[in-house]
Structure 1
Amino acid sequence: MNNIRRKSLLSVSTLAVGLFSFTAAAIVPPSPTINARSYVLMDYTTGQIIASSGEHDQHGPASLTKIMTNFIIGKELERGSISLDDEVTVSERAWARNFPGSSLMFIEVGKQVKVADLQRGIVVSSGNDASVAMAEHIAGSEDAFADLMNTHAQRLGMTNTFFTNPHGLPAPEQVTTSYDMALLTQALIRELPDAYALHSEREFTYNDIRQYNRNSLLWDRSLNVDGVKTGHTAESGYSLITSATDQDTRLITVVMGADSERSRATESKKLLNYGFRYYETITAYEAGESFVTQRIWGGSRDDIQLGVKDAVVVTLPRDQRQHLEANFVLDRPLEAPLAQGEVIGTVYLTLQGEDIASFPLVSLHAVERGGFIKRIIDSLKQRFSDE
């Protein structure tokens, strides 16, 4: 559909006129230079990428892998196939001694450990041993669990990711990208809030061993960071995924391949500060909101209210809401009968003349066919109508 056929909602909707008044346009500077191999700054709600570089370049995921491991644990808890009170017997393969020099929960072979503790051992302590124990408990083996990981990755659209183990230690073919990890983090927050909440915990004690979350931004008072995960191997460098909120805006950052722990935190904070300073998430229209009334032909009534079924949420540069314009295109003449919620066109949101979003235009109520005489009269009127 082209702009010529669009009808302006601003000219027919007092709501739109009320929402959007005109002020001077804000200036948004370029995103900061980030010292990492790749990075992404994403608006959680809309999925819009605000800034990125090398976002589809593949890297070893290191312990960022454990976000997927926690995601699957959350899904299995949701399904009821496991419970937080399940006692998991630690196998020799999951024994802490098999992972010298790496992140551990320090579980011991033959001991029974609750799922609730293992999940925290994975998320907070980044335990490679706990990851294997949970993989075996859920799927029977690490290989079978990896198949489950890749099935979920495919469903989430992580097209450049492949997992071979539940902990992220280097393995042939195991790769991901900063964009794919942003998608996974977005899904974890949206679909499994209880599982995600563990990523905000600053410490975890098991077997009298206290360990602190390696995400240093959880302690940064200048930001409201509530997750998510660090990762490091010699091959992949230092990585960090964060998520933080400011009023109605939640941002996700993924920084992969920084050169130190300090650097990954510093670069992530630069992205978060930039995103919150210059962008915001707004609701342009609420679910079920009516913003235009149109003539309908051959119906039991003459007019029909049109609007949106779901809330329309967009990411904008700050202070640009007043410059939003909305217009629409009808797919076909409005003729009865029409069902409630039936899609009859498309609404386009534009900012400074550029399309930034489109969404279905739907009927907000049903209109039945009119009587025979009404249909004949409407048919004659429609021939001479410009609508």
Structure 2
Amino acid sequence: MQTKTFSILPVIFAIAAGALVPSAASFAAGHHASKAASPKKAVASAAAANALPPLAAQTTLAGSPPALPAKAWLLMDFDSGEVLASANADEPLPPASLTKMMTSYLVEQALRSGKLKQADLVSVSQNAWCRGSSTESCMYLPLNSQATVIDILRGIIIQSGNDASKAIAEHMAGSEEGFAKLMNAEAQRLGMTHSHFMNPTGLPDPNHKSSARDLAILARAIIRDSADYYPIYAEREFKYHGIKQGNRNALLYTDPTVDGLKTGHTEEAGYCLVTSSKRNGMRLITVILNTSSPQARADQTRAMLGWGFSTFEKATPFQPDAVVGTAKVAFGKADTVAAGLAAPWTLTVPRGQQVQTAVEIKPDLEAPVAKGAVIGKVVATSNGKPVGEAPLVAQAEVERAGLMLRAWQHLAKLFGK
């Protein structure tokens, strides 16, 4: 068994701030051309040669976002799920190790539901075993060994282990193919309409695709649904079987507001990064797909975050206890019921712009109406563009009227009174 130690990676990340040496980059999801480090000039030259022309925003809610040399990119507000700016957001592209966000998400949800326990042992088959090649990222699980689910999860998230991903796939679904079915079912449930997964690792397959929008949707689900496990995405290193490896997300070492999520790289996918950052109560999610180098994906993510946090701010159109509208109720003991927000509602809007709201109440509302039942929605716009909406719920119960009162109400309605 190979016993390399990678403890130097955090130092490299912290100093380089994204300008990672090739030996670190070579531990991405798939295959790489070189196994050894190259001189810095050669790396810079190769990155420049592979760089795409700047891709301008195709959608934006404000201002002029930076044009980024990548095949696709996206900036999303976490709270609302609103896309603040994007380019080629729905183009299916190879996601490389960003795939492992779906793998880790399924593990996390199985832990939440009790289908898995943190101390459960996962076996390492011949298929899952990583043979120590520097052309793929590995947790370096020994062949025919066992590891706990929580260690496997860390190996997937921090070390981007293909072996860890395959082992948990076989443990949960019997095979990689069986696990891919679970991945696709979950993608459909989350509304990831431009994704199709063939394996749990992101290793190249012509039918294995995802989009910038879909990956942002997935990142948002991880942050929202995996509170107990999301802190793992911010961990800078993990040591297993005597081998310490650093997280390849360079921003974790240079930006204290960044707390996830995942890097990816194959020759076909280029360098990819999904990141989340929270500043002053606002959380933004970024996706960059197929850019030219580790430094490029870090720099472009910084540019998106800098633009996003300087361009947008939080707004609260209504307080949770405010009455937003009044709904008419037919055939009830009361003719109307107050409509209000079910939960606190905040929006991310362009700085300095006013927020307008429009209340939409369900027509032909009839009793009985339960307290808390959804009876409409409020839509917010800024500068003529929608920036979010929230459901409106009944603030009180409206019981159904008795037979005589209902008959009178029918007659009044018939005669237009």
Contact 1:328-1:346 within 8 A present in 2 as well: yes
Contact 1:298-1:379 within 8 A present in 2 as well: no
AA aligned to 1:201 is: E
Superposed counterparts of 1:238-249, under 5 Å: 238-249=271-282
User: Shift in Å at residue 214 of structure 1?
Assistant: 0.4
Give the SS at the match of 2:347: strand
- Comparing 80-89 with 47-56, which one deviates more in the overlay? 80-89
Change (3 A) 1:144 1:290: same
Contact 1:248-1:282 within 8 A present in 2 as well: no
User: Shift in Å at residue 83 of structure 1?
Assistant: 1.4
Aligned position for 2:290: 257
Aligned position for 1:275: 308
Query: Per-residue CA shift, 1:174-229, capped at 9, x if unaligned?
Result: 111111111111111111122322110000111221110000000113x5000011
Give the SS at the match of 2:317: strand
Give the SS at the match of 2:84: strand
User: Shift in Å at residue 241 of structure 1?
Assistant: 0.6
Aligned position for 1:136: 170
Aligned position for 1:347: 378
- Comparing 259-268 with 125-134, which one deviates more in the overlay? 125-134
- 2:320 is equivalent to residue 324 of structure 1: no
Contact 2:80-2:388 within 8 A present in 1 as well: no
- 2:135 is equivalent to residue 101 of structure 1: yes
Change (3 A) 1:60 1:335: closer
User: Shift in Å at residue 342 of structure 1?
Assistant: 4.2
User: Shift in Å at residue 310 of structure 1?
Assistant: 3.7
- 2:120 is equivalent to residue 86 of structure 1: yes
Contact 2:373-2:394 within 8 A present in 1 as well: yes
User: Shift in Å at residue 132 of structure 1?
Assistant: 1.2
Aligned position for 1:230: 263
Aligned position for 2:38: none
Aligned position for 1:155: 189
User: Shift in Å at residue 49 of structure 1?
Assistant: 0.7
AA aligned to 1:176 is: S
- 2:226 is equivalent to residue 192 of structure 1: yes
Change (3 A) 1:352 1:116: closer
Aligned position for 2:395: 364
TM-score when normalising by structure 1: 0.82
In structure 1, C-alpha distance between the alignment counterparts of 2:198 and 2:416, rounded to whole Å: 67
In structure 2, C-alpha distance between the alignment counterparts of 1:330 and 1:119, rounded to whole Å: 45
Aligned position for 1:220: 254
AA aligned to 2:283 is: R
Give the SS at the match of 1:307: strand
TM-score when normalising by structure 2: 0.76
In structure 1, C-alpha distance between the alignment counterparts of 2:325 and 2:231, rounded to whole Å: 41
- 2:231 is equivalent to residue 182 of structure 1: no
Aligned position for 2:79: 45
Structure 2 residue corresponding to 1:308, chosen from 341, 344, 363? 341
Query: Per-residue CA shift, 1:238-263, capped at 9, x if unaligned?
Result: 00110010122111101011100000
Contact 1:71-1:195 within 8 A present in 2 as well: no
- Comparing 114-123 with 306-315, which one deviates more in the overlay? 306-315
Change (3 A) 1:77 1:381: closer
Give the SS at the match of 1:315: strand
In structure 1, C-alpha distance between the alignment counterparts of 2:79 and 2:184, rounded to whole Å: 24
Q: Structure 1, unaligned stretches of length 5 or more?
A: 1-26
Structure 1 residue corresponding to 2:198, chosen from 164, 170, 179? 164
Q: Structure 2, unaligned stretches of length 5 or more?
A: 1-60
AA aligned to 1:205 is: K
Contact 2:374-2:393 within 8 A present in 1 as well: yes
Change (3 A) 1:129 1:293: closer
User: Shift in Å at residue 339 of structure 1?
Assistant: 3.6
Change (3 A) 1:90 1:276: same
Give the SS at the match of 1:284: coil
Change (3 A) 1:271 1:296: same
User: Shift in Å at residue 89 of structure 1?
Assistant: 2.4
- 2:160 is equivalent to residue 126 of structure 1: yes
In structure 2, C-alpha distance between the alignment counterparts of 1:172 and 1:295, rounded to whole Å: 55
How many residues align? The count is 356
AA aligned to 1:77 is: L
Sequence identity, in percent? 40
In structure 1, C-alpha distance between the alignment counterparts of 2:193 and 2:405, rounded to whole Å: 58
Give the SS at the match of 2:215: helix
AA aligned to 1:367 is: V
User: Shift in Å at residue 301 of structure 1?
Assistant: 5.6
